[in-house]
Structure 1
Amino acid sequence: IERFKGMQSLFVEHDDLVVDNFVNSIANNHLQIVGAELILGKIYEKIGFPTGGSCKYFKNLVLYRLVYPGSKLKTVDYFGNHLNIDVSVYTIYRFLDELNNDIKPTIEQISFEYTKNLLGGKVGVVFYDMTTLYFEASEEDDYRITGFSKDGKHQQPQIMIGLLVSSQGFPIGYKIFEGNTSETKTLIPVLETFQEKFSLDKPIIVADAALLSQKNIDALNEHGYQYILGGRVKNETEAIKTKIIQLKIEEDKPKELKSKNGRLIISYSPKRAYRDNKNREKGLIRLEKRVKSGKLSKEHINNRGYNKYLKLTGQVNITIDYEKYEADALWDGLKGYVTNTGLSRKIVIENYSQLWKIEKAFRISKTDLRIRPIYHRLKSRIEAHICICFTAYSIYKELERLLNYNNIKLSPEKAIDEIKEIRQLRYILPKSKEVKTKILQPTEIQSRLLNMKI
């Protein structure tokens, strides 16, 4: 009947047995992850990052960092199981050692040019921040030095990395410093390096309050830079603090005062006020419990966090200064910005509000790309590892932009989760012994990712 209807079976006889035998012959190493190459690989090549030659493993190391961030030892398994590349971990280490000094400048130049193109040919505002990267090691050297750790790993050697990004968080470049380098000593060297490297006009510098040292501000002014910096309004002089309170600032109506470093713009946000109040209440409750427990001593009296509400009365009697607590409520919702630009108050605040994107860049690098902890010991391998992570972050940001452009309602993290589940079957025909591959039927969202315009 099937023959007369033109619906001949794929298998002439023993159909079920043939299918069963075929399925039983499929092993895990016959399934390969191809989504990274098909999607992230296209983004890598579109940006223009190097392939082949002395960089023959670089692309795969970058893609692996995006889909399965982990140790170089696990990278070898990925190469063998999914890329059919038989390579030892020592080959990977030698490759990292041999990455010549041109790779970092090349990667930065490519990333900068691509970012500049996305921004219409001009980079007018840059965002700068710094973080620490610690090592799973106990010994220091000239490069890995114990210092103040933002990760809370104060006993472990570390390096410091300064990252420069454009608006929207697109990467421009980075610079590595010894682990005990002060944040305040990095800003001008980084800016001058990138200005010279990329022939930049002097951009407007946006940085957070952590970099708001008088030495930094003086250096920025001395070198002719314009800046927008986070202002710590409660650290101003008593005269300026009195004027700030008297301004009675309303939402969306920022006001400004003159300060020794330029314009001090102050804004008010009800949401920020609510958050500040809640945080103070939580801090007070914790302090009250600690005071009641009797476990506090004079060593706890400092000006860090909410301990500033503690005071000593008599010789050892510790109480809470509720007047100081209530007085702090006057500052709820207020935020300061210091600038020497002629930009409007609204534009200053809008530019500073984008600073969270560089903080997000560090968070992505530390969590999704697992840039830390670093297990390498040699300087060349450390620098190669960070270069790989920087390149991976560039692809991550472009993926984020393309998802929005193609109206795919996924975060980059969720998209990568889908991408790494796109697999193909590698099989050998029994008679001809021809090796063939077939992408397994993708889900609807995987099809959209495979077909998105890059």
Structure 2
Amino acid sequence: MYIRITKNSRGEAYYHLVESFRRDGKVRQRVLLSLGRVEEGKLQKLAEAVNKHLDRVTALNLASSIDISQAYLYGPLLLLQHMADQLGISNVLSGIAQKHDRLQFKFERAVFSMVVSRFMEPISKLGLWDRMLDRFYPGLFDNEIELHHFYRSLDLLSTHKEDIEKQLFYYGKDLFNVQVDVVLYDLTTLRFESTRTDLGDLPRFGYSKERRSDCTQVVLGLLTDTEGIPLGFEVHPGNTFEGKTLEGMVRKLRKKFTVNRFIFVADRGLFSTENLKYLRKDCGEFIVGFKIGTSKKIIRDEFYDIDRFSFVNDELAWYETQKDEDRYIVTWSKSRAERDHKAREEILDKIRIKLSRKNVTVKDFVSNTNYKKYVCISSNNKPAINHQAIEKERKKDGFFGIITNVKKEAMSAAHIISEYKQLWRIEDAFGELKGTFKTRPVFHWTDDRIIGHIMVCFLAYLCEAHLTKNLRAKAELLNSKAIEKDCIKPRPLTSVQGLKELNQVFAIPIKMRNQTIWVRTDIPENAMKLLNAISIKIPPKILKKEEM
């Protein structure tokens, strides 16, 4: 910068602060500030003024040369790359790629980008390629992926499904000390926005847990440990009976994981003599909920006899008995009794409203299982409330049954009950898979693509489950304005809440003169807690500099 004197058409001289710059290989000048008319002694004053306001001049000059064109996704990439490395996902996927010499694309990167998409915005593979991929921060993701690479990756994930589950299970573990005694198991259905059944063996019409009988579906069986960490999954045709999914399950798991002892924990939806037979066949142990009302009357009366129960306190009691080779454990709790009573009263209130209408008929109730239970035909051939049925159901309030073949020496009744209560974790897993990661509706039609898509969601949930586990261990609390203002009570920070804030962390390229400076935006407090929970080193504000 320098001061230049220029004259106007009237011959009056003026001072200007001028800067030289280069454009198209030629040196040019530009006026930064007009400093007024030339007067005796003014030059010294101008020098002092320029020095005083030099920061302002520099800022003005800098602002005129900055170019910010786009913000790139950074936060989720940083976290999920760390998780993929720590959990062995990157290692396993790279190993698969090495087995396919003719693979002409980066398989591990293609799968990683699909996993990232499940966290950020669960969109189609086409949407990911068209709208999201170019927004990934180049410093963490080298984007050389085409649309067909995603579909080819799904095929490979399906082909190597068993290998992936096995290697992830053992990654980082002491092979001589692998302990996964208790396995949680449950089933759900995943629908397609389609009615076609001719493109594969999996999409079929069947009993839908989503009450969508108009769509084809698959049956998904998920296995987790007692902390909610997923171990594996099985995909069955949509018309598969739930119990059939257990056939050969113990044998298959022992072969895959080479662990001698598995105790299956499943809810009462899987309870039947036939289902338990499949588990016993391979010397499998189980803890399964059962419906007390379906047992033989002499046994049922025993289970509902509260005088036989041992009370832990005024609100909890339990009773255990042995029948043949199985143990039956029945619990009663005051909170469950209140919940059962409330649920029944809500149904009865709806029935009373219906009965109060004119021209009500039996047909108004027969299609609803809950209504039908509490309605009978009165002496005048009109529907009425069945008070005997209500009294019968009232006696069942608060009771819940568990059947197990685990020996007393191996596990006490209290321990059995505790393990069964962990089933909420697998219900939570289904909620995450269907909600956060949008596993359904499925928009793939061939069997390999369907399994590959579910594997992507499985890998995403594996990362989320470990994030949740680490947050629990750190006992991190949610930072929220609503909590600060006492609108809501303090509560634990969830991985989903932390990731939501992490999605707001971008990498921004700032082009200045002859270089590009990549800077990251600030990391919100909850996102910072999430990064700290898994020991990620916080990156500097300036990520890197590139010469243009």
Hey, what's the Cα distance between the residues in 2 that align with 1:330 and 1:210? 22
Q: 1:328-359: per-residue Cα shift (whole Å, max 9, x none)?
A: 21111111111111221111100100011111
8 Å contact kept, 2:158–2:448? no
SS in 1 for 2:445: coil
Greater shift, 50-59 or 397-406, is seen at 50-59
SS in 2 for 1:206: strand
SS in 2 for 1:136: coil
What is the TM-score when the length of structure 1 is the normalising length? 0.90
Q: CA deviation at 1:234?
A: 1.7
SS in 1 for 2:159: coil
Aligned partner letter, 1:199: T
Q: Which has the higher helix share?
A: 1
Hey, what's the Cα distance between the residues in 2 that align with 1:13 and 1:115? 57
Higher RCO, Cα 8 Å, sep 6+: 1
Residue 213 (str. 1) matches residue 272 (str. 2): yes
Which residue number in structure 2 is paired with residue 161 of structure 1?
220
Which residue number in structure 1 is paired with residue 419 of structure 2?
351
Which residue number in structure 1 is paired with residue 116 of structure 2?
63
Q: CA deviation at 1:205?
A: 1.1
Residue 40 (str. 1) matches residue 104 (str. 2): no
Which residue number in structure 2 is paired with residue 330 of structure 1?
395
Cα distance change on mapping 1:100 and 1:303 into 2, 3 Å? closer
Cα distance change on mapping 1:195 and 1:299 into 2, 3 Å? farther
Number of aligned residue pairs: give it.
444
Which residue number in structure 1 is paired with residue 467 of structure 2?
399
What is the TM-score when the length of structure 2 is the normalising length? 0.75
Cα distance change on mapping 1:197 and 1:352 into 2, 3 Å? same
8 Å contact kept, 2:250–2:279? no
Q: 2:510 is matched with which residue: 382, 405, 427?
A: 427
Hey, what's the Cα distance between the residues in 2 that align with 1:184 and 1:391? 26
Unaligned runs of 5+ in 2: 1-44, 98-106, 478-492, 537-548
Hey, what's the Cα distance between the residues in 2 that align with 1:10 and 1:81? 37
Residue 223 (str. 1) matches residue 265 (str. 2): no
Which residue number in structure 2 is paired with residue 312 of structure 1?
377
Cα distance change on mapping 1:107 and 1:436 into 2, 3 Å? farther
Q: 1:186-232: per-residue Cα shift (whole Å, max 9, x none)?
A: 11333321211111213111111111011012222232122111021
Q: 1:213-271: per-residue Cα shift (whole Å, max 9, x none)?
A: 11012222232122111021122221122222323344443112334562211111111
Q: 1:447 is matched with which residue: 528, 537, 540?
A: 528
Aligned partner letter, 1:164: L
Which residue number in structure 2 is paired with residue 31 of structure 1?
71
Which residue number in structure 2 is paired with residue 281 of structure 1?
345
Hey, what's the Cα distance between the residues in 1 that align with 2:124 and 2:361? 44
Q: 1:56-93: per-residue Cα shift (whole Å, max 9, x none)?
A: 31112112212221221221121112245264434423
Cα distance change on mapping 1:8 and 1:428 into 2, 3 Å? farther
Aligned partner letter, 1:67: M
Q: 1:386-445: per-residue Cα shift (whole Å, max 9, x none)?
A: 1100001100011112223344221011011011111111233322xx333111222333
Which residue number in structure 1 is paired with residue 501 of structure 2?
418
Which residue number in structure 2 is paired with residue 321 of structure 1?
386
Q: CA RMSD in A?
A: 2.7
Q: 2:209 is matched with which residue: 142, 147, 150?
A: 150
Q: 1:367-391: per-residue Cα shift (whole Å, max 9, x none)?
A: 0111000111122221111110000
Which residue number in structure 2 is paired with residue 236 of structure 1?
295
Aligned partner letter, 2:406: T
Larger Rg: 2
Hey, what's the Cα distance between the residues in 2 that align with 1:228 and 1:313? 43
Cα distance change on mapping 1:47 and 1:333 into 2, 3 Å? same
Greater shift, 13-22 or 184-193, is seen at 13-22
Hey, what's the Cα distance between the residues in 2 that align with 1:451 and 1:319? 61
SS in 1 for 2:248: helix
Which residue number in structure 2 is paired with residue 268 of structure 1?
332
Hey, what's the Cα distance between the residues in 2 that align with 1:270 and 1:20? 71
Residue 374 (str. 1) matches residue 442 (str. 2): yes
Residue 256 (str. 1) matches residue 320 (str. 2): yes
Aligned partner letter, 2:457: C
Cα distance change on mapping 1:118 and 1:412 into 2, 3 Å? farther
Aligned partner letter, 1:126: V
SS in 2 for 1:253: strand
Cα distance change on mapping 1:263 and 1:448 into 2, 3 Å? closer
Aligned partner letter, 1:278: K
Calculate percent identity across the aligned residue pairs. Answer: 27
8 Å contact kept, 1:131–1:162? yes
8 Å contact kept, 2:291–2:401? yes
Hey, what's the Cα distance between the residues in 2 that align with 1:324 and 1:288? 15
Aligned partner letter, 2:351: L
Unaligned runs of 5+ in 1: none
Q: CA deviation at 1:120?
A: 6.8
Q: 1:98-131: per-residue Cα shift (whole Å, max 9, x none)?
A: 55712x2232123322596699730011111111
Q: 1:283-330: per-residue Cα shift (whole Å, max 9, x none)?
A: 111111122224342473378224211112357411111122123211
Q: Which has the higher strand share?
A: 2
